[in-house]
């Protein structure tokens, strides 16, 4: 199975400029999402989980009432790869669609 190489820190920082709110924390990329209601946070996590299952690439998830923090790395590589940037981009698209759906 092909596993992409680790990205250098400078490459990670450059790639994260394309993704609103994502930052590098150690060997992970992370983003914290805020929701108005607990059930919105849970519904969003469920959508992320379904996308992660399809990709066979899973973020670490921390839920604190209406706050969701996602942390991503390629565990087998011990750091950030293109897979992680791709999953973060997919999560950004999910968030955009989710917020549109829950706004109205």
pLDDT tens, the chain, 104 aa long:
677 899 999 999 999 999 999 999 999 999 999 999 999 999 999 999 999 999 889 999 999 999 999 999 999 999 999 999 999 999 999 999 999 999 86
Which pLDDT value is given to residue 33? 98
* Whole-number pLDDT of residue 103: 85
For the entire predicted model, the pTM comes to 0.93
Q: What is the pLDDT of residue 2?
A: 77
CATH superfamily of 23-103: Transcriptional coactivator/pterin dehydratase (3.30.1360.20)
Q: Please state, in angstroms and rounded to a whole number, the distance separating the CA atoms of residues 69 and 59.
A: 10
Q: How do the domains of the chain map onto residue ranges?
A: 23-103
pLDDT of residue 104: 66
DSSP state of 62: E
Which two three-digit tokens encode residue 88? Answer: 């973060």
């Amino acid at each position: 199975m092909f596993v992409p190489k680790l990205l250098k820190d400078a490459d990670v920082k450059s790639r994260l400029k394309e993704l609103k709110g994502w930052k590098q924390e150690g060997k992970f990329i992370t983003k914290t999402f805020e929701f108005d209601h607990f059930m919105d946070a849970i519904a969003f996590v469920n959508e992320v989980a379904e996308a992660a299952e399809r990709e066979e690439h899973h973020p670490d998830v921390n839920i604190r009432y209406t706050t969701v923090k996602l942390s991503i790395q390629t565990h087998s590589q011990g750091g950030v790869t293109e897979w992680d940037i791709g999953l973060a981009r997919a999560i950004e698209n999910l968030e955009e669609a989710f917020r549109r759906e829950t706004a109205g």
